[in-house]
């Protein structure tokens, strides 16, 4: 399995390397923000679990937001306060 990390804040999102290029991800704490699409929570929590098994990443929490609206600021604050990084995405 190859996992690529992408920087969504770049002018054009692009792959920035593989996990081996990011030693700081080892034993880090990740939160999941899912957008309510079908299978989004399943896909992202499965990725978090895989990262836990391979790299010691700790999945601390999953939070939900409505499909068509932004996440509540309190949820964003909680995710930022409790995690080293947050996985955000969608699935169908």
Give the model confidence (pLDDT) of 11-47 as tens digits: 665 555 565 656 678 889 999 999 888 888 898 999 8
Task: Give residue-wise pLDDT tens across range 49-63.
Answer: 988 998 899 999 999
CA distance 41 to 47: 10
pLDDT of 64: 93
The full DSSP string for 10-68 is: SSS-EEEEEGGG-GGGTT-EEEEEE-S-TTHHHHHHHHHHHHHHHH--EEEEEEE--TT
Per-range mean pLDDT, top range of 19-33, 63-77, 78-92: 63-77
The Cβ of residue 44 has, within 10 Å, a number of other Cβ atoms equal to 23
Is the pLDDT confidence value at 77 over 90? yes
pLDDT of 58: 94
Instruction: Give the confidence band of 89 by pLDDT, cuts at 50, 70, 90.
Output: confident
């Amino acid at each position: 399995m190859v996992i690529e990390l992408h920087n969504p804040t770049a002018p054009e999102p692009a792959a920035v390397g593989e996990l081996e290029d990011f030693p700081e991800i080892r034993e880090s704490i990740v939160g999941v923000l899912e957008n309510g699409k079908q299978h989004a929570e399943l896909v992202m929590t499965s990725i978090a679990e895989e990262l836990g098994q391979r790299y010691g990443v700790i999945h601390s929490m999953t939070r939900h937001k409505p499909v068509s609206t932004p996440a509540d600021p309190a949820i964003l604050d909680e995710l930022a306060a409790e995690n080293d990084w947050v996985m955000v995405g969608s699935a169908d």
